[in-house]
Amino acid sequence: MIDLNRIIAGPDKDEAGDGPERGVATKTRPKTKKPSMYRVLLMNDDYTPMEFVVSILMGIFKKTQEDAYTIMLNVHQKGVGTCGIYTFEVAETKVAQVMDAAKRGGHPLQCTLEKA
């Protein structure tokens, strides 16, 4: 049978060992790049109840009650704080879940993400 690849690209090995390599480069490197990570931030405001923020941190960010209270208090005192660091899609989903819960609860709570 006629090998079309040899006709088009030439032999893929330098069989004679006396010339430049020919053929199509097919070397691949394993896909091991680490995904970019994103920090999910919670903003303070004067109206959202502390208990609501704690419930968000427990329900959406899977924090214990103690950790949730600590994070909430940190945001309350400093103005902004980190809820967690995730891949983009996870971070984006959590921000959307917080904003949706805040809207449904009638609270002005704001949540954003930034590159970690």
Q: Out of 14, 22, 36, 50, name the contact with ligand TYC by CB under 6 A.
A: 50
* Region from 6-14, 16-24, 47-55, 97-105 binding ligand TYC, contact rule CB under 6 A: 47-55
Burial of 81 (0-12, 13-18, 19+ CB in 10 A): buried
- Residue type, position 38, single letter: Y
Beta-carbon count within 10 A of 24 CB = 9
Size of the site for ligand TYC (CB under 6 A): 13
CB of 102 to ligand TYC, least distance (A): 9
Cα–Cα distance between 33 and 71 in angstroms, integer? 31
Residues at the site binding ligand TYC, with contacts judged by CB under 6 A? 42-46, 48-50, 53, 72, 75-76, 109
